[in-house]
Amino acid sequence: MSRDRVDERLETLLARAHQQLGIVVYDGLMGSGGPPELRDPDQMLGSLLAAAHRRTGEAVAGRLARRHGKEHGERVVADGVARAENLLMRRLAVVRLKYRQRAMDCAREHWPLNVVTVIEKAVDAVQELITGLEEEDLVETACDRLVQVSRSMGRVLALPGSATQPTPALGGYDYLEEVEEYLSTCSARLVAQARRSKQLLDSELIPHFHAPELSCLGMLELAQDLSDDLDLAHREALSLSRAVAAVKEASTDFRGADLRSADLAGADLEGIRWDASTVWPPEWKERIWKASLAAANGHGELIVGVEPHGSTVAVDL
DSSP per position, 33-87: TSS----HHHHHHHHHHHHHHHHHHHHHHHHHHHHHTPPTT----S-HHHHHHHH
216 and 144 assigned to the same domain: yes
H/E stretch holding 292: strand 292-294
For a pLDDT cut of 70, what percent of the chain falls above it?
70
Is pLDDT above 80 for 225?
A: yes
195 and 306 assigned to the same domain: no
70 and 138 assigned to the same domain: no
Out of 59-68, 129-138, 215-224, which region has the weakest mean confidence (pLDDT)? Answer: 59-68
- For the entire predicted model, the pTM comes to 0.71
Is pLDDT above 50 for 310?
A: no
What is the pLDDT at residue 13?
76
How confident is the model over 288-298, as a mean pLDDT?
A: 87
109 and 204 assigned to the same domain: yes
93 within a domain of the structure (yes/no): no
Is pLDDT above 50 for 277?
A: yes
85 within a domain of the structure (yes/no): no
115 and 207 assigned to the same domain: yes
What is the pLDDT at residue 125?
93
What is the pLDDT at residue 154?
94
* Structural domain for 23, as ranges: 3-76
152 and 239 assigned to the same domain: yes
Please give the residue that has the higher pLDDT: either 78 or 278: 278
How confident is the model over 208-234, as a mean pLDDT?
A: 88
Pick the last residue of a domain from 235, 250, 265: 250
Distance in angstroms (rounded) separating the CA atoms of residues 238 and 247:
14
235 and 136 assigned to the same domain: yes
